[in-house]
Amino acid sequence: MRDQYHEELDGIGATLVEMAGLAGQAMGNATVALLGANLGVAEEVIASDKAIDQLQHDLDARTVDLMARQQPVAGDLRTLVASLRMSADLERMGDLANHVAKVARMRYPGIAVPSELVEIIEKMAVIAEILSKKVAVIIRDRDTEKALQLGDDDDEMDILHRRLFVALLDPAWPHGNEVAIDMTLIGRYYERFADHAVSVGRRLYYLVTGEYADI
């Protein structure tokens, strides 16, 4: 019975790793759709969001069931509670990729991002991909040291987010209010993706140490 219990605990961790990978893949594909006006890829991202949602629902149900059956204490209880919270963050990361893809679909066949802002969005997407990969490794290995490093990547994302706003607030902005609104939302989606990745890192740190980290 204890072997089965620990297999179920390991399975919950594996699902979280899978969710991190899917969220990162979704944001990468959403960026392809956004910058390339690729309607097919946008539709794929939007459809794939249901898979991440279903993983969260299944994981949460398994976690609650395990808590009810095994009545875990100490580290195991922390693991299960943290898993519930991490799954919510990872599901939200998938939602944010979905939002980017929906902007791409809404503006098709045009490209939502003005040419002078493409570089910023590309860099934001790279950081999002790096964060999602790091989150998967951190969960898999319970690596608290790498969890603490997520804040550096988040700082880079924040810098890019500010650069985007500087461009949008320039009195010489030539693209009108509608494009400015699109870019405000897009920038927010990438920035929040990074915030949720950091949140996963904080929860992992607490899971392992029982202490809260300032990431």
> pLDDT, tens digit, for every residue of 60-107?
999 999 989 888 778 888 899 999 999 999 999 999 999 999 999 999
Residue-wise DSSP of the chain: -HHHHHHHHHHHHHHHHHHHHHHHHHHHHHHHHHHHT-HHHHHHHHHHHHHHHHHHHHHHHHHHHHHHHH---HHHHHHHHHHHHHHHHHHHHHHHHHHHHHHHHHHTTS-SS-GGGHHHHHHHHHHHHHHHHHHHHHHHHT-HHHHHHHHHHHHHHHHHHHHHHHHHT-TT--SHHHHHHHHHHHHHHHHHHHHHHHHHHHHHHHHHHSS----
Q: What is the pLDDT of residue 69?
A: 86
Query: Contact, 101 vs 47, CB < 8 A?
Result: no
Look at residues 74, 94, 103 and name the one whose alpha carbon lies nearest to residue 16: 94
Cα(183)–Cα(165) distance, rounded to whole angstroms? 9
Is 130 within 8 Å of 153 (Cβ atoms)? yes
202: amino acid identity, one letter: R
- What pLDDT, on a 0 to 100 scale, did the predictor assign at position 22? 98
Domain ranges of the chain: 2-209
Question: In this structure, what token pair is assigned to residue 106?
Answer: 């809404």
pLDDT tens string 101-120? 999 999 999 999 999 999 99
Assign residue 22 a region: left if phi > 0, alpha if psi is -120 to 50, beta otherwise? Answer: alpha
Section 21-34 average pLDDT = 98
pLDDT tens-digit map of 121-161? 999 999 999 999 999 999 999 999 999 999 999 999 999 99
29 or 6: whose pLDDT is higher?
A: 29
pLDDT at 41 over 80: yes
Residue 162 has pLDDT above 80, yes or no: yes
CATH 1.20.58.220 holds for 2-209: yes
